[in-house]
Chains A and B, each alone.
Chain A
Amino acid sequence: MKQKKTTALFLALPWIVTLLLFWLYPIIYSFIVGFTDKQLLSKTFQWVGFDNYKALLSDDSFLLALKNTAIFVVGTIPLTTIIALLLALLVNKQFKGRGLFRAGYFLPSITSMVVIALIFTNLFQRGGYIALLAEMLGFTPPQHGFLLDSSTALFSIMAMDVWMAVGYYMLIFLAGLKSIPQELYEAARIQGAGSIRQFFSITLPLLKPVALFILVINSIKSFQVFVEIFVMTQGKFETSTMVYFIYEAGLTTKFNFGYASAAAYILFLIVAVFSFMQFRLLKNRGTV
């Protein structure tokens, strides 16, 4: 019995070490540092209490990052979810070449974000293809390109993110569709329900757990937007997000660890509340 216990502990050792060293320690460390004025070059640092937090809440660039992150989350998630569902419905039925279309729609989501961001940096630039397309459709594209204009930069990046992510969530919706028993549709057909009626009374209600699951993972992802901002705008033109702010405050010029850590914890709190609410929602539906 005792030997079994030792074996169990031994087997889990790599994970325990990783957990303590690379997860728990950093999480606690940054909580503590958030209450100090620690910077890279200063050997000593002092407790400053809630000063970092107070300063953050009156820091315009922090508030802008907060606002942008909120716009990102609220703007992309519903759009991504709805488009993904429509795509899933489109490629769910049996038809020739189905596999090809599914794979093609999914392709952007396995490509590196850096590569996608580079490609779209060109497509969005002045005289680029998207500007040409906008002109063809009768719009006036921004003079210096979509990414060099405060009124379009963030929305352009959001549009790219939706384009990139829909294929991934389409696959998850497809798995959800597959798990709906076919007998339900047969029964509905016998009772004379049309396909629209079937969609609203069978498909949609039974997909709710999947949709909520997608909501949870997509929002955790959207709160952490960084790579595309770094590659496409370097946070300029009012595109800075929370994680970009943390990076800029903590790991560039000033290396202001205390300040950046406090910002990280504010974001942590927001995400925690958000996730908690979503899990409550999931639980109420009796799905977890």
Chain B
Amino acid sequence: MKFVKKLLRYVLLFFILGIMVFPLLWMFRVSLMESGNSISFDNLLTASFSLQNYIDLFTNSQIGKYLYNSIFVGLIVTVGNIVFCFMTAYTIARYKYIVNKVLFVSVILILMIPIHIIIIPMYLLMVNFGIYDSYFALILPWLVNPIGIFLVKQYIESIPPAMEEAARIDGAGEMRILFRIVMPLCKPVLAVLAIQVFFTNWNSFLFPFILTQSDSVRTLPVALALLQGHQAIDWQHLMAGSAIAVIPVLIVFIVLQKQIVSGITAGGIKQ
């Protein structure tokens, strides 16, 4: 009886797992199929494997450039968030002035305001600044984010200020205390923040889409979405492009699963 129960449990577990991973497995399989093969179920199992679609994309399309753009923008935004979220979080956590109360309230407020309200003005702002369709448009608005500030602030408040005070008595300057003493202590939460920011940026579509129009600054998700429906591209190549967008995320997820999960739940539960 107990055995049957266990067996049923695993059947259910694997059934759901199948539903959850099938679309991604399908993507990889189709991306490795020769162009022109039909995507029928039989072909999924029997068609030969080839990397030709990937080679085609890198030689005949701009995908290398899109990939570079995604990585470049992602890295700068991530570094920006590590430094600036940390600085702001430190101010809110340690300096107890009224101005910081105001700051904190603004952080919470921004968290709740739906992002669609800034679509049109953001577009106009970038056009008026003359940075529409440039890296600046993709980077500047996202160098610091309220969720990140909140996450780091919670962490800093859990660190006893004794070390900072000792350093202050020894005559260390504020900047030195901040970056040499507190920042290293915050490594775990900053790692979580970095992963979250990079992922969000890597997958982001709406703003990169409305703020760019040329291939030279276009990121991977935007390029993929616009490729679809082109006469010149078939599903095999489209799925190879999609796989290129997914593989880095998969690798990071496998290596850093623990940090990713803790980032989600730390941002989530406050009881």
Closest Cβ–Cβ distance, residue B225 to chain A (whole Å):
5
Across-interface contacts of B140 in A (CB, < 8 A):
22
Q: In the complex, which residues 88-118 of chain B have their Cβ closer than 8 Å to any Cβ of chain A?
A: 88, 90-92, 95, 97, 99-100, 103, 106, 110, 112-118
Say yes or no: B121 contacts A122, CB within 8 Å: no
Report whether A119 and B23 are in contact in the complex, using a CB–CB cutoff of 8 Å. Answer: yes
Question: Chain B residues near A237 (CB, 8 Å)?
Answer: none
CB of B16 within 8 A of CB of A33, answer: no
Which applies to chain B's interface (DSSP): helix, strand, loop or mixed? helix
Partner of A15, one of B113, B149, B221, B245: B149
Chain B CB within 8 A of A63 CB: no
Please state if A7 and B174 are interface contacts (CB–CB under 8 Å).
yes
Given known A-B contacts A14-B143, A25-B125, A108 and B23 have beta carbons under 8 A apart: yes
Report B227 CB to chain A, min CB distance, Å: 9
Residues on A with beta carbons closer than 8 Å to the beta carbon of B110: 19, 23
| A103 to B149 CA separation, bound complex (whole angstroms) | 27
Bound: A108/B12 CA distance, A: 19
- The answer to whether A247 and B119 touch (CB under 8 A), given A118-B242, A119-B23, is yes
Q: Which residues of A contact B114 (CB under 8 A)?
A: 220, 223-224, 267-268, 271
Partner of A175, one of B87, B112, B265: B265
CB distance from A288 to the nearest CB of B (A): 8
Stretch at the interface among A48-56, A144-152, A196-204, A225-233: A225-233
Q: How many residues of A contact B (CB 8 A)?
A: 86
Binary contact track B112-135/A, C-beta < 8 Å → 1, others 0: 111111111111110000000000
Contacts of A177-236 to chain B: CB distance below 8 A? 179, 209-210, 213, 220, 223-224, 226-227, 230-231
Interface: A155 (CB within 8 A):
no
Contact residue range for chain B? 35 or more
10 contacts between A and B (CB under 8 A): A100-B17, A104-B20, A111-B249, A112-B246, A113-B221, A115-B224, A115-B246, A209-B271, A246-B116, A251-B120
* Chain A contacts to B: CB under 8 angstroms: 4-5, 7-9, 11-12, 14-16, 18-19, 21-23, 25-27, 29-30, 33, 87, 90-91, 95, 97, 99-101, 103-108, 110-123, 129, 132, 163, 167-168, 171-172, 174-176, 179, 209-210, 213, 220, 223-224, 226-227, 230-231, 242-243, 246-247, 250-251, 257, 260-261, 264-265, 267-268, 271, 275, 287
